[in-house]
């Protein structure tokens, strides 16, 4: 997902645990192309060499009722048959290498990406025969040129550190460096797990995208949210420090700072027109304020007292639906966002 996000500015949507492990769509609302990825790990053991053979990819296990299950390639091919008009790539991904005969003299275990077109004739014929039998096809399977075998460099034993390294590089390119990789990794993993664990059956492709997918806008929203929280925490600390410097009463200050947190939460809802309208009115008035208001020893207290005396219907709505403290908290935040240099910096110069 991170790679897709950086490789292009085009829209995308990645679905988790739908049909195969991961499905990449070329659009979040009106997709025309789908890329299927089936992901499996393989650990070396007494009965396993730690590589994938053609037999591994084509063998079919049986369930408790002695019914044959799909083979790895058979499961992937089932999705090709179902979404043939959309399918652009069908990929089996693993942390292990593939030990398969190729047309060329290249050793397959040295390759990270193998197209089925590169397999030797006998291997390709075996795949065709088994897929025909598994899916009861009347003719040779089509579309095999879309199928690939990919070995990922992601380390399974040390996947946490490896993934955080990838995320760290991603955040360096996409952000201002303020977001820590580990918390963002945890948040991203949580979002993926939420989508994986949803058991409801989607009524439409749009429902499936909405409930199972992460789009470009969703990932960008996660980044913006993380940056916003960091900035909010910094702003919260700055306001609190300034109110302490102004020697505001402890209980009054504590109540006001609780309202600052509440304002941060409430204004995230862009459909809350009470806050949107009141904020727009406050910004307009703050920008018109005489800078002399900030010249005293208590610039923030003086500013919110001045704004609170103004007769504005937008402010009355906030008082009625929230509280005066909430309104004052809104003033504090917007003053800092509009006139940061007129609050604590000049006060600090006077104090020094």
What does pTM read for this prediction? 0.66
- Kindly report the CA angle at 196 between 44 and 166, in degrees rounded to 5? 60
| Domain coordinates in residue numbering, the chain | 42-154, 246-351
- State both tokens at 120: 């030797």
Q: Which residues have C-beta within 8 Å of that of residue 200, sequence separation ≥ 6?
A: 211
Of 139, 140, 165, 143, the closest CA to residue 153 belongs to: 165
Average pLDDT in the chain: 87
Per-residue pLDDT tens over the stretch 165-188: 888 899 888 887 778 788 788 878
Query: Residue 318: exposed, middle, or buried by beta-carbon count in 10 A (0-12, 13-18, 19+)?
Result: buried
Pairing of strands 51-52, 213-215: unpaired
Percent of the chain surpassing pLDDT 90: 56
Of the candidates 146, 328, 181, the one whose C-alpha atom is nearest the C-alpha of residue 255 is 328
Is the pLDDT at 20 greater than 60? The verdict is no
Tell me what the mean pLDDT of segment 27-35 comes to.
92
The answer on pLDDT for 295 being more than 60 is yes
Please check the confidence at residue 58 and state whether its pLDDT lies above 80.
yes
Q: Above 70 in pLDDT, residue 189?
A: yes
């Amino acid at each position: 997902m991170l790679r897709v996000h950086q490789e292009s500015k085009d829209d995308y949507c990645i679905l988790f645990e739908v049909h195969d492990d991961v499905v990449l769509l070329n659009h979040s609302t009106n997709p025309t192309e789908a890329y299927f990825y089936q992901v499996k790990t393989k650990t070396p053991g007494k009965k396993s060499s730690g590589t994938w053979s053609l037999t591994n990819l084509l063998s079919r296990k049986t369930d408790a009722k002695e019914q044959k299950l799909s083979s790895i390639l058979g499961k992937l091919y089932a999705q090709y048959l179902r979404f043939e008009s959309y399918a652009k790539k069908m990929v089996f991904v693993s942390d292990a290498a593939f030990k398969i005969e190729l047309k060329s003299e290249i050793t397959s275990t040295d390759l990270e990406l193998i197209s089925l077109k590169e397999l030797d004739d006998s291997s390709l014929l075996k795949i065709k025969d088994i897929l025909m039998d598994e899916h009861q096809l009347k003719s040779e399977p089509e579309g095999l040129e879309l199928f690939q075998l990919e070995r990922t460099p992601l380390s399974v034993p040390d996947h946490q550190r490896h993934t955080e390294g990838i995320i760290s590089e991603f955040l360096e390119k996409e952000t201002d460096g303020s977001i820590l990789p580990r918390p963002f990794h945890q948040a991203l993993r949580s979002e993926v797990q939420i989508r994986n664990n949803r058991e409801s059956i989607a009524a439409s492709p749009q429902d499936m995208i909405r409930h199972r997918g992460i789009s470009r806008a969703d990932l960008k929203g996660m980044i913006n949210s993380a940056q916003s929280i960091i900035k909010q925490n910094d702003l919260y600390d700055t306001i609190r420090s300034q109110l302490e410097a102004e020697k505001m009463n402890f209980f009054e200050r504590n109540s006001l700072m609780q309202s600052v947190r509440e304002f941060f939460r409430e204004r995230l809802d862009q459909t809350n027109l009470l806050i949107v309208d009141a904020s727009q009115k406050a910004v307009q008035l703050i920008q018109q304020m005489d800078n002399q208001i900030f010249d005293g020893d208590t610039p923030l207290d003086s500013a919110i007292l001045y704004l609170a005396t103004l007769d504005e219907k937008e402010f009355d709505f906030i008082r009625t639906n929230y509280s005066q403290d909430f309104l004052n908290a809104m003033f504090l935040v917007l003053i800092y966002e509009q006139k940061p240099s007129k609050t604590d910096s000049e006060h600090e110069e006077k104090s020094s």
